[in-house]
Structure 1
Amino acid sequence: MVLHKTYDVVSREKAMEAASHTLESGTENLGEQLRSFIVEVHEDFKELQKFYSVGLSQNGILEVGEYLARKTNEIVVRFERELFDGDDQQAKVDYHLMRAFLRQRVEELRAQYQLIENIKPLLGDWVQGLVEFCEGRQKVTPVVGRHAGNVLSLANRGITELTDQISSEKFEWNGSRSSAYQAAQLMEDLRSNLQEAYGFYTGYDPMFTWWTSQPWEELGPRLSAYVSVIRKYLVGITSNKEDAIVGQPIGRNGIVSALANEYIAYTPEELILIGEKQYKWCEAEAIKASREIGYGSDWRKAQEEVKNMFAEPGQQPTLVHELAQEAIDYVIKQDMVTVPEIARKYWRTFMMSPARQKVNPFFLGGESIIVSYPTNNMSHEDKLMVMRGNSYPFSRSTVFHEVIPGHHLQYHYMARYKPYRRLFHTPFSTEGWAFYWELILWDRDFADTPENRLGMLFWHMHRCVRIIFSLNFHLGKWTPQQCIDTLVDRVGHERATAEGEVRRSFNGDYGPLYQAGYMLGALQLYQLRKELVNTGKMSEKAFHDRVLKENNMPIELLRALLKGEKLGNSYEASWRFYDLEKDHHRC
């Protein structure tokens, strides 16, 4: 299998052929050629993903894996030797970014291939026929109506047998709850692809329609019932599937591999310790604010008062715009970062649906801001929980995190400066940038009252505990319930918002390091600022503008770029941006 081979033995001749290829322009230098290569691979990869859209297709995985292996060889043959003999620092960074991207995608394909192997008992021989039917449609392979009817009929029988075995508890399942959950998701993905493929032929091909109409009519309901049975008996979901929290710990080796791809030179255990140290600082600051409010050292009681400082129904969008303008005016007046007029004036606001609030109970942002606030048809208890979780002091940080100088400004620059690097998105850069501003504005006493400080500290604590609970979960030490309890007990979350956060972390499309990326990425940027701004090598504004214009990448590579540090062809993470021996705030 291609995915189990080393890159060096895959399509070496094709890579050599590509190395001698002359670009049509004939004028691009090596760095420009590499950028063109990155764009080419990005677009190729998107096309391959669209074509091999069936998640259960191992053939598709192998095809994409062979392409990625070929491109990994090609980048080495075409660029490595000459590039690292030169002095183009931008190109060297791009080389490492692209190598890491290719490596990560292959690792993901391996994991997907192995998942399919693990859930084979739930698939049966009939699945391959359905997958081949979908892929044949993609290739517009001539279809034989009788054969298609056989494929659908065999699937109906196989699905019925497995459904009966599982529902009667006669089925022996040795896999994990998470694997069963993923199997159900892949079945839903297959059903979607089947609907598209069937619609491509039916009505247009009379023989196909004649042979398949009856078995097709049965297949949809049978697949739906099968998915429900898997969820009920093998996953343990007895209610609405959206309410379940199911995740798959990737284990310590998986975390270590992910950290290497993100250029983080710490062990998972060390990162958890950073989270604990940061939390200790937060708790001390919360006690200070609590004493000012009049609750002594019981900061949780003070926090309860702050939670009740929420906007009345209909007022939250106005509050959001007022808070956004406050932050925009502040960073412009203090000359902290360049805010282009288009970014400053033309950002949009949307309201979050009740269903989406189950996964993300707080604001979301980027090109726009999505406001979390209860609707009239939510229960009284749920209304209060969401309102208290998005009170005025809590929302103050959220708004500038999502708009300016946070994500909205960041996305504005990303679309305009080195946009090819958006391919290398990482939470340590994206989320790290937005939370970094929470640290900087804290230092500037932007939180000018104890209530506002407690509001900011809620998010500081939240980011600390995200490191702790997400890594402990993926190390296999904590259950989702322990993660929820920790958010409630140590941060002060409402029970519903804690459940939403954990569901978002493990049920969604987020990587295992996503939740840790906020605080850790911010601490990296904070330390890099000390190295460049505090030493007088760059002004604050120049630093922020440069970070934005370099687009997205692991912060250690950004550091090497900004400081002009030597980059070899086998560069690995080594930057210790946080002193674990000291017990103080941040770096």
Structure 2
Amino acid sequence: MRSPNLPPIEGFQANEDNPEPRRRTAEPEHISDRITRVRWDLQNLQDFYNVRNSTGRCNRLMVFFTEELHSLEFVPFDMYNQDEKVDYLLLRNYLRYQILQLRHDADQDQRLISYLGIYFPMRLSGLIQARQRVDEADGKQAATWCAQIIDHIKLARDRIANKDEVEETIIALRATKLVAALKSDVQEWYDFYKDYDPEFTYWVAEPSIRLQDALEELNDTIKRSTPGLSSADQDTIIGSPIGRAGILDALQVEMIPYTPEELIAIGEKEYAWCETEMQKAASDLSFPTWRSALEYVKDQYVAPGKQPHLVRDLIKEATEYVEKYDRVTVPSICKETLRMYMMSPEKQKMNPFFLGGESIIVSYPTSTMSHEQKLMAMRGNNIHFSRATAFHETIPGHHLQWYYLMRSRPYRQMFFTPFSTEGWAFYWEMLLWDADDWPKTPENRIGMLFWRMHRCARIVFSLKYHLGLMTADECVELLVNWVGFERANAEGEVRRSVMGDYGPLYQAGYMLGGLQLYALRKEVVDQGQMDEKEFHDLFLRANQMPVELFAALIQNRKLSKDYESRWRFYNYSKD
């Protein structure tokens, strides 16, 4: 008989009829636990197979995603509650899209390997992954391989310098990122053995330095030989349109049952509404055109050094408003801990306006900028533009949402979607436009409409860019002509759109996500199914998901394992 003071054996339980312990039957993996496991399994794999653009990494991730997707076929979907069914569909869509992305990346990498040559990237990847496995190191053999790799790097460098290998700028840019990553990985490979393995250090110390130098020279050669990548072309906008098929793949995972052409039509229709409203505000100010009124509003900016105080006061105004009218729950710590930073001049080239979330990052000129840059930054972040930006980026927008993302169903952060995140912040732009109790001067209205026109333009230029119907320069012109952007700010906006780490639908997600939430609000709040505050709080606590799945969640819509998007949320016939 076991002493009562001894702890039970892990994994076993006693049977009253049989004193011998027996193994417990493992419980099925809960779907939320599965999502958490997939997230961290993926992180482990990406950390271990850390050579980006390598065939080994791509193949291993493809196996992982495929196996996880296949295993979902055996979960007890019909026994799940509504939240669990939503989690299943989120994970299914995520895995499907990751597989599509890997295939797209593999196609890009084939062109990359053709450009650089196959030998040295694969050989370096092999060395780095062998180090990850902690294989036995042969210093003499490694030194021989280093010498061979250096010869192949020089061949690639000479081909590129002599223009024997000419590739699209985007592939050349991808090559510079790969070569820089390999250079960093080679340093880590050598440092792992350095001095701890005296024989390895003896053989490899000198070849590793030459290898690093060869990679650096190759990177410099690619930049010098490729228009748009040299130090003289730092302001060039470089992107890679993904085509109509790529957009449709992205729309499927985001559960948007519209074609790219239909979405462009939505952007154009919403723009026409904005232009009409902009003209009304201009007339209220006695200006003949909305463009002349916009120029007047742009010149209403605060002096250098005063922008942080303006933004602070605008944040306080919006926070006090949503609390006074009880429109959403704002936790006290969320208000208390909002931090502010200033954006560097270099980063303002990519982000000419505020950024928000956990903190607010304010764009405004510095003393190091040229006179023209200073004026553009001040006009682009004038008082009335800033008023709308402040509540979009902080409370009730991104900062409030970020607070909930960290605390309510945080495992769903893996399913980040701009239609939820940016859609939520833009949705508040729509609500406060409608609200009679949110004070709006004609100048304020112009400031709000500027951003709303901007969201319309984002749908049009981003989708047309990825369809191959507009160049980056034409996107800049559209922002200048349609919205009234300062040219430098328009260039920053397009550069951020096509060169940043954004998906092809990110820019369209602002207005389209907001329109989805606005339409859903009409279905549930205006029809008396729940009050406004409950609707907003439920959305924040649901964390990340396509808006259609949030609609299915709160309306208890019937869901199946093979559920596909079908919600046509936009009314084309509205006035």
Shared fold, TM over 0.5: yes
Aligned: 1:152 with 2:146: yes
Instruction: Classify the secondary structure of the residue corresponding to 2:340.
Output: strand
Find the partner of 1:359 among 326, 350, 363: 350
Offset at 1:231? Answer: 3.0
Change (3 A) 1:387 1:131: same
Q: Specify every segment of 5 or more residues in structure 2 that has no aligned partner in the other structure, as ranges.
A: 1-22
Instruction: Classify the secondary structure of the residue corresponding to 1:364.
Output: coil
Instruction: Classify the secondary structure of the residue corresponding to 1:359.
Output: coil
The answer to which of 544-553 and 54-63 deviates more is: 54-63
Residue 43 of structure 1 is matched in structure 2 by: 40
Offset at 1:306? Answer: 0.8
Distance 2:306 2:398 in 1: 23
Aligned residues: 551
TM-score of the superposed pair, with normalisation by structure 1: 0.91
Change (3 A) 1:25 1:433: farther
Kept in 2, the 8 Å contact 1:180–1:235? The answer is no
Distance 2:53 2:26 in 1: 43
Instruction: Classify the secondary structure of the residue corresponding to 1:417.
Output: coil
Distance 2:24 2:305 in 1: 57
Find the partner of 1:120 among 88, 113, 118: 113
Residue 467 of structure 1 is matched in structure 2 by: 459
Offset at 1:27? Answer: 9.5
Residue 69 of structure 1 is matched in structure 2 by: 66
Find the partner of 2:406 among 405, 415, 429: 415
Write the mapping of 1:111-510 to structure 2, written as runs, cut at 5 A: 111-124=104-117, 125-169=119-163, 171-173=164-166, 175-239=167-231, 242-296=234-288, 298-445=289-436, 446=438, 448-510=440-502
Distance 1:325 1:289 in 2: 26
Residue identity matched to 1:115:
Q
Change (3 A) 1:280 1:558: same
The answer to which of 127-136 and 445-454 deviates more is: 445-454
Instruction: Classify the secondary structure of the residue corresponding to 2:341.
Output: strand
Instruction: Classify the secondary structure of the residue corresponding to 2:349.
Output: helix
Offset at 1:266? Answer: 0.3
Offset at 1:216? Answer: 2.0
Find the partner of 2:56 among 50, 55, 59: 59
Kept in 1, the 8 Å contact 2:227–2:233? The answer is no
Residue identity matched to 1:146:
K
Residue identity matched to 1:198:
Y
Offset at 1:490? Answer: 0.7
Residue identity matched to 1:383:
K
Bigger Rg, which one: 2
The answer to which of 205-214 and 99-108 deviates more is: 205-214
TM-score of the superposed pair, with normalisation by structure 2: 0.93
The answer to which of 252-261 and 447-456 deviates more is: 447-456
Residue identity matched to 1:407:
H
% identical equivalent positions = 48
Aligned: 1:98 with 2:91: yes
Offset at 1:87? Answer: 5.9
Distance 2:213 2:232 in 1: 18
Distance 1:424 1:25 in 2: 34
Change (3 A) 1:386 1:398: same
Change (3 A) 1:240 1:412: farther
Change (3 A) 1:191 1:87: closer
Kept in 1, the 8 Å contact 2:267–2:459? The answer is yes
Q: Deviations over 1:425-479 (max 9, x none)?
A: 1000011001110010011143511111111111101110001000001001111
Offset at 1:91? Answer: 0.8
Distance 1:560 1:98 in 2: 16
The answer to which of 332-341 and 197-206 deviates more is: 197-206
Distance 1:307 1:543 in 2: 36
Distance 1:67 1:95 in 2: 17
Distance 1:51 1:311 in 2: 50
* CA root-mean-square deviation: 1.7
Change (3 A) 1:142 1:244: farther
Kept in 2, the 8 Å contact 1:152–1:219? The answer is yes
Distance 2:443 2:328 in 1: 27
Distance 1:71 1:166 in 2: 41
Aligned: 1:34 with 2:26: no
Offset at 1:25? Answer: 9.6
Kept in 2, the 8 Å contact 1:126–1:155? The answer is yes
Q: Specify every segment of 5 or more residues in structure 1 that has no aligned partner in the other structure, as ranges.
A: 1-23
Residue identity matched to 1:480:
A
Q: Deviations over 1:67-117 (max 9, x none)?
A: 11111111221x1xx322x36111111110000111111112222222221
Distance 2:423 2:186 in 1: 40
Distance 1:154 1:505 in 2: 40
